[in-house]
Amino acid sequence: MDYGNNGIKSGDLSSNTFYLREGVEHNVGDIGNYLFGRGMAELQISLWAAQTGAHVNNMLSGRRQNTGIYDFGPGTNNGPGLFDSKGDQAAMSRGYKSHQNYPSLLRRDMEWPKFYGK
């Protein structure tokens, strides 16, 4: 469920784009976390379990999961610390909670506003 990397590979997402969802801009890494949270809600996995799982994943294999597909500077690929970042956790939580406001996540619903970077 690595939506950021897989979204770029499939052409559905771009590394130089910000995705606006519910008044918050997300880069491709954060929109991936948002969609991961949404997926957990769709699968009826608790937010607590999803967030705890992300922390455990970062502790056990975070350094090995670096990506060369996008780079936003220091901290892009698992910054210092054992736990998942605050930003990643916040994006995941927003995605999870979006299930209450937007129960359908069909392809047409993915067409949210985009802002292209330099």
Q: Report the alpha-carbon distance of residue 52 to residue 45 in Å, rounded.
A: 11
- For 80-94, what is the mean pLDDT? 84
The answer to whether residue 99 sits within a structural domain is: yes
The answer to whether residue 93 sits within a structural domain is: yes
Q: Which residue has the higher pLDDT, 62 or 38?
A: 38
pTM of the model: 0.75
The answer to whether residue 14 sits within a structural domain is: yes
The answer to whether residue 74 sits within a structural domain is: no
Cβ contact 95:37 at 8 Å? yes
Give the least confident one: 35-39, 65-69, 110-114. Answer: 110-114
> Domain span at residue 105?
3-67+79-116
The answer to whether residue 43 sits within a structural domain is: yes
The answer to whether residue 106 sits within a structural domain is: yes
The answer to whether residue 92 sits within a structural domain is: yes
The total number of structural domains in the chain stands at 1
Helical axes 3-10 vs 28-42, angle rounded to 10°? 110
Q: Which residues contact 7 (CB under 8 A, 6 or more apart)?
A: 13, 28, 31, 32, 35
The answer to whether residue 73 sits within a structural domain is: no
3-class DSSP assignment, residue 114: strand
Give me the count of residues in the chain: 118
